[in-house]
Amino acid sequence: MANRPLSPHLQIWKWGPHMFTSILHRVTGDGLALVGLGVLLWWLGAMAAGPEAYAAFELVMGSPLGLVVLVGLSWAFFTHMMSGLRHFVLDIGAGYELGVNKTWSILSPLLGVVLTAGFWALILLR
């Protein structure tokens, strides 16, 4: 057997905000794909099925549990978008300095929360 270097594993890596943001990016993307697609298909199907089906959709999505789902989807969207913008900047070759990378890794999820709060404040306070 060749004497090759071993790949680093999780016990060697020092956890940082960039790792959390990367994992959060994947989780929010999966959540948007699964839950978001389900809600979208239900909404489209309810519109196509007629007023009674749409009224049932509105009733469920207007309930506290439905609002939690909608707020969660919007949080996942904004968090995924901010992390995606961070990855876009990294893809063009900028932002790899440790301080800049750490700052944007912390700001990405925080901006997702701020944008979600602003979005829902805009909807609920009109």
What CATH number did the domain enclosing 33 receive? 1.20.1300.10
Question: For tokens 């439905």, what's the residue?
Answer: 66
| Alpha helix ranges (H) inside the chain | 17-31, 37-49, 51-62, 64-91, 98-124
Q: Could you tell me if 84 and 25 are in contact, meaning their C-beta atoms sit under 8 angstroms apart?
A: yes
Question: Which range marks the domain in which residue 116 is found?
Answer: 20-124
How far apart CA 80 and CA 76 sit, in angstroms, is: 6
* Tens digit of each residue's pLDDT (9 = 90 or more) over 33-85: 999 999 999 999 999 999 999 999 999 999 999 999 999 999 999 999 999 99
Does 71 map to a domain?
Answer: yes
pTM for this entry: 0.86
Q: Could you tell me if 112 and 75 are in contact, meaning their C-beta atoms sit under 8 angstroms apart?
A: yes
- pLDDT at res. 11: 65
- Based on the structure, what is the number of domains in the chain? 1
- pLDDT at res. 10: 61
